Chains A and B, each alone.
Chain A
Amino acid sequence: MNARDEVLGRIREAIGESEELPIERTYHKAGARQAEAADLLELLTARLIDYKATVLRCADSDQAIAAAVTGVLSAGSVTRLVVPVGLPEAWLAAEHRQPDDPPLTLGILDRAEGVLTGSAVAIAETGTIVLDASPSCGRRVITLVPDLHIVVVRAGDVVPTVPDGVARLDPSRPLTFISGPSATSDIELNRVEGVHGPRQLVVILAG
């Protein structure tokens, strides 16, 4: 008997004739928490700062986002940012762009100054930003190898809770949930920022 049939056979023998068990969801489901937009953005900001991310607030317009990005570039003496193919053109001038088209090699990404992307969803309660490999988020690797990640979160994509966020996402896409810069709790169980992923996370919160 092959391993598959044998393992499945063992499971059936182990559980016998068991009936389907119910799942009661009495916790706060998607849509259960309504919050004022301003409060949500405040909460998200506080959570992100707690994770040692940098948060910049601006109005929800392409011009305001572009100004915020330019501010980050001049503050950090950064000249060029890797950008995914679908990043809105208005967010960054062409001379500052290093487009991932054709796909950049790992060597180039390793030497890149930083990367600028959009995002799919942000969860206020946990300070989590989700990238979904859509055109404005790009391939997973471009937000992983560079040491600086600037991510734009638009107010309309901010939801209150984890169930709200999960409900909005498409699992058929590769997803990355990001809650602050790379960190570890492996030394004496205290959180230390800065291991393998981007050590600088700058969130431009538009709205």
Chain B
Amino acid sequence: MNHDVFMAGFGGQGVLLMGNLLAYATLIEGNNASYFPAYGVEKRGGAATCTVVMADGAVGSPVVGEPEAALLLNPLSMEKYYTKVRSGGFVLINSSLVEDDGSSRADVDKLLIPANAMALEIGNARLVNMIALGAYVQYSKVVSFTALQQALKEVLPERNHRFLPMNHQALEAGAAFCREQLG
């Protein structure tokens, strides 16, 4: 197994947490993963990106030029990274914020998901990342949802464990949406 995914959005959307969880879930399942955040002059609302590489053997490059999958949560990410996704790859587009429907490319699988609207429906605008992650994991099957839930529990401090059900619900909502759209 060799998989990689690039995630991008703006600060506050939980892009880095999403990457952390995925990489940690990969470790829980006994495989290897690297999580590499883009590192810059950080500010609220600024760009936030990370790359997760997963492998059953040694992880080689934590840096990927043409990712196999990309989760693009805001218009700027769509503009900058949509063309970089590998041909035959997968792109998740947060259609609540991104107007571009990705029709300029026919060589990638697309999932247009209204993640912000769905998050509000569940009851918290900050669940956008969990919805996107749930959809990606449903599509790619790179890790199990059990591992993802365990990772979430270990990453969140105990005092925040009351938010776990809501996060599980968001992961499941993303997964369900992906099943409906892409079968």
Asked if chains A and B come from one complex, the reply is no
Instruction: Give B contacts to A, CB under 8 Å.
Output: none
Instruction: Give A contacts to B, CB under 8 Å.
Output: none
